[in-house]
Amino acid sequence: MKNSAILLISCPDRKGEVAAIADFVYRHNGNILHADEHGDEESGLFLMRVEFDPKDFDIPLEDFGKYFSPVAEAFAMTWRLAHSSHRPRMIIFVSKFDHCLVDLLYRHQSGELACEIPLIISNHPDNQAAADFYKIAYAVVPFTKENKQAAEKQIHSLIDEHKPDFMVLARYMQILSNEFVNRYPQRIINMRGVKLIGATSHYVTEILDDGPIIEQDVVRVSHRDTVEDLVRKGRDLEKVVLSRAVRSHVENRVLVYGNKTVVF
């Protein structure tokens, strides 16, 4: 497993920001491996992702903020430092359809998704066998209009117990309350349909299917396709789009600003 540090930055777009960041890493004996940037003209924001090798870095990474703060303050930067070796904890929510769940579990087992999955939460028992096969705890929390508040309270308890870094709605066919969503900002990833045969993965907000987009794709259809063909193509695409979004999140490639994202 590679060991790199990842610096994610957003700030007002001004001259000298790239030079200041590169100079800071260089002066402290870091080696930049990748650097990606984006300037958003509409908002006047500058966003950047810098991945560097900390092997010879002369600052302990836990003290990074103390030394980087003068640069950050000079350019009014919002920033965070991540570590590629860190495996974030992901809880998966699912209902009856298993295609996204099983795809994520397989990609996790094969090493494609560098995260930990401590728990699967469902409102149905249907996918218990898949959880058992991958040796992951499975909690069934029935969800109805009448018990919604109590169900979400139970889910909160499970989240507090298992302490995930983020959550994925893998075809979880329940609408979570605004209170629930606002409790975990930019920590819930979901799927939504598009007007073409396709799929979009996004962060969940209190406005249904309106959160910042992480990944999306479409697939060709023809007059020969039956309804069953369209359903199959949609499910195939949902798996790919959701896994791409999760991988981008796990690898710290997503910067959110307003209701937009930059995926490096």
160 an active-site residue? no
* Beta-carbon contacts of residue 69 (< 8 Å; ≥ 6 apart): none
* Distance, CA of 128 to CA of 107 (rounded, Å): 18
* Distance, CA of 22 to CA of 24 (rounded, Å): 5
End-to-end Cα separation, the chain, in angstroms: 20
* Distance, CA of 210 to CA of 207 (rounded, Å): 6
* Distance, CA of 254 to CA of 202 (rounded, Å): 11
* Distance, CA of 30 to CA of 33 (rounded, Å): 9
Q: Which of 23, 58, 209, 210 is catalytic?
A: 209
Question: Taking a C-beta distance cutoff of 8 angstroms, is the pair 171, 238 a contact?
Answer: yes
| β-bridge mates for residue 90, sequence order | 166
* DSSP-H helix ranges across the chain: 17-27, 64-74, 99-109, 128-133, 148-162, 178-183, 227-250
Angle at 154 between CA 188 and CA 162, to 5 degrees: 60
Handedness of CA 163, 159, 139, 212 (dihedral sign): negative
Q: Which residues are catalytic?
A: 209
